[in-house]
């Protein structure tokens, strides 16, 4: 475990050096967040009672979605891992005295965390000082904040574990572009990144909320905004934990199978 934590620390320190890219990302996400809020506000001004979330909850959801974008978006991948599979240099990593799956898992965690840390705090702080109804509201109490942080962490682990399956599938293809396009579109839509899940038709929403995608960012952001409360918080967090363990075990199995049967591309 110590060697994997050292790897995470080194990759994290390397990632936070890209401050100019982070600044550009902050400006882009802040502007995009405002555009989304203004777009939804036009509909809410027409008939706010027709929507399943209060406008304040929706605004908080959008700002948190932008703040933690780098933690949850499926299009953020570790290009070093994909390149090592494509050119065959993964063979050198197999010679190291570490297991490949946890090594890549921690590298992916560091890659996402380093980007998120540089961006989330400026966006959150700025959003907290905006005038209503455009500001990010604080959670209702300490319990909601604690549940949000726990859910955020488990959702983050689930995203990383799901991303590992993308890397493993790349062993069986000449290019990862096709599978990545499919995964990006599927995850973004069903995780509530494009449209919050409460806006889905009720029959569809009940099914979608049981899928692993809904346990990524959806749960944490809705706990913070107050859209998920009471005993439902416990159920959603337990479901998140279930999906993380399941996806992690599936990824480990697929990795072992790939190591036994796949010929490394490029060598």
pLDDT tens per residue across span 101-138: 888 898 888 888 888 888 888 889 989 998 888 899 88
Gap between the Cα atoms of 69 and 76, Å rounded: 9
In this prediction the pTM is 0.89
Of the candidates 17, 8, 248, 245, which has an alpha carbon nearest to the alpha carbon of residue 109? 8
* pLDDT for the residue 267: 47
In a domain, 155, yes or no: yes
For the chain, report the end-to-end CA distance as a whole number of angstroms: 30
In a domain, 199, yes or no: yes
Mean pLDDT, range 142-171, rounded to an integer: 91
Domain total in the chain: 1
In a domain, 228, yes or no: yes
* pLDDT for the residue 170: 81
In a domain, 81, yes or no: yes
In a domain, 266, yes or no: no
In a domain, 93, yes or no: yes
Integer CA distances (angstroms), 39 to 33, 59, 174, 238, in order:
10, 11, 41, 34
- In this model, does residue 261 exceed pLDDT 70? no
In a domain, 267, yes or no: no
């Amino acid at each position: 475990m110590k060697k994997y934590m050292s790897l995470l620390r080194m990759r994290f320190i390397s990632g936070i050096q890209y401050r100019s890219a982070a600044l550009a990302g902050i400006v882009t996400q802040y502007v995009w967040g405002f555009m989304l809020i203004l777009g939804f506000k036009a509909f809410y001004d027409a008939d706010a009672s027709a929507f399943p979330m209060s406008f304040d909850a929706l605004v908080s959801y959008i700002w948190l979605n932008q703040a933690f974008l780098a933690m949850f978006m499926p299009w953020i991948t570790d290009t070093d891992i994909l390149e090592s599979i494509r050119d065959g240099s993964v063979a050198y990593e197999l010679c190291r005295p570490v297991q490949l799956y946890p090594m890549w898992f921690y590298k992916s965690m560091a890659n996402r965390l380093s980007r998120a840390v540089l961006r989330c705090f400026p966006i959150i702080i700025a959003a907290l000082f905006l005038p209503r109804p455009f500001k990010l509201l604080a959670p209702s109490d300490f319990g909601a904040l604690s549940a949000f942080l726990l859910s955020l962490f488990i959702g983050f682990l689930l995203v990383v574990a799901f991303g590992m399956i993308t890397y493993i599938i790349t062993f069986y293809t000449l290019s990862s572009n096709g599978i990545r396009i499919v995964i990006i579109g599927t995850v973004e839509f069903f995780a509530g990144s494009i449209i919050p899940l409460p806006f889905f038709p009720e029959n569809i929403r009940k099914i979608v909320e049981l899928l692993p995608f809904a346990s990524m960012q959806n749960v944490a952001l809705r706990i913070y905004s107050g859209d998920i409360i009471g005993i439902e918080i416990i159920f959603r967090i337990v479901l998140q934990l279930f999906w993380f363990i399941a996806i992690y075990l599936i990824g480990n199995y697929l990795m072992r199978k790939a190591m036994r049967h796949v010929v490394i591309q490029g060598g």
